[in-house]
Amino acid sequence: MSMPSDRRTRKRLATRQGISIVATRLFLERGFDHVTVDEIAAAADVGRMTVFNHFPRKEDMFFDRDEEGREILRDALRQRDLSVTPIETLRLLAHRLVAEQSPLVRFTAAGQGFIETIEGSEILKGRARAIRDELAQEVTAALSECAGRESTDSDARLAAGLLLATWTVAFIQAHRTFRREQDTAQATAVFLAIIDQGTAGVKAAMSGTPYA
């Protein structure tokens, strides 16, 4: 008799999470470039092909929250209060994620290890840039959908680029603040202040469009 689909799904997710936890530990301990997929498979007690079935690329194990972040962003825009503009919706999303203590915007010692691992690997830095470009495309499409415009809309593309730049600077400065001060509250305040300041600039730049 076949295993119920929900049980099968739970088992698959548990295996994926187990691989991710082991891989992240090894990456943080030894550096991304010095850990092989075979070592991850052995430490997670799974086969090499099982690892690739869950993570097509080695760097996907490091950025394992990427899809979660994209889904949160898409949902925020698609389920927004229609009285709130798309740009303001994303500013409010940043504040909500902080209030919920989401790991996506948590500035701690553990987060420093994550950043330092990226800084020590050209592969991870390249993937981080690619993720940012992919996110810009997704935000462009989501913004266009909100306004009932084509996905190639130039206003949406400009707004997405400005928003991604704002969030990128906010993340970087918040992590730098924590590295210097070892103070999560101060780093979080820096993050939100830049989000607010940048969003005000994006609204001004996009004045007269459906996005502002």
* Tokens, residue 201: 């600039």
**Other Cβ atoms closer than 10 A to 212:** 17
Gyration radius (Cα) of the chain, Å: 19
Whether the per-residue pLDDT at 44 is higher than 80: the answer is yes
Output b/e per residue, 169-195; b: 16+ Cβ within 10 A.
ebbeebbebbeeeeebeebbebbbebb
- Rounded to two decimals, what is the model's pTM? 0.86
26 close to 43: Cβ distance less than 8 angstroms: yes
Whether the per-residue pLDDT at 3 is higher than 60: the answer is no
Half-sphere exposure (Cβ direction) of 47: Cα atoms closer than 13 Å: 3
Helix axes 86-99, 154-181, angle to 10 degrees: 20
Q: What pLDDT, on a 0 to 100 scale, did the predictor assign at position 5? A: 61
191 close to 94: Cβ distance less than 8 angstroms: yes
Whether the per-residue pLDDT at 210 is higher than 70: the answer is yes
Q: What pLDDT, on a 0 to 100 scale, did the predictor assign at position 167? A: 96
Alpha-carbon torsion, ordered 12, 16, 22, 23, to 10 deg = 150
Q: What is the mean pLDDT of residues 134-140?
A: 92
Q: What is the mean pLDDT of residues 104-114?
A: 90
Q: Which helix (H) or strand (E) holds 49?
A: helix 48-54
Q: What pLDDT, on a 0 to 100 scale, did the predictor assign at position 20? A: 94
Q: pLDDT, tens digit, for every residue of 144-201?
A: 998 999 988 999 999 999 999 999 999 999 999 999 999 999 999 999 999 999 999 9
Q: What pLDDT, on a 0 to 100 scale, did the predictor assign at position 10? A: 87
Contacts with 37 (C-beta within 8 Å, 6 or more apart), sequence order: 48, 51, 52, 58
Distances (CA, A) of 193 to 158, 170, 174, 197: 22, 8, 10, 6
Whether the per-residue pLDDT at 69 is higher than 60: the answer is yes
* Tokens, residue 23: 């891989």
Give the integer Cα–Cα distance in Å for 123 and 28: 15
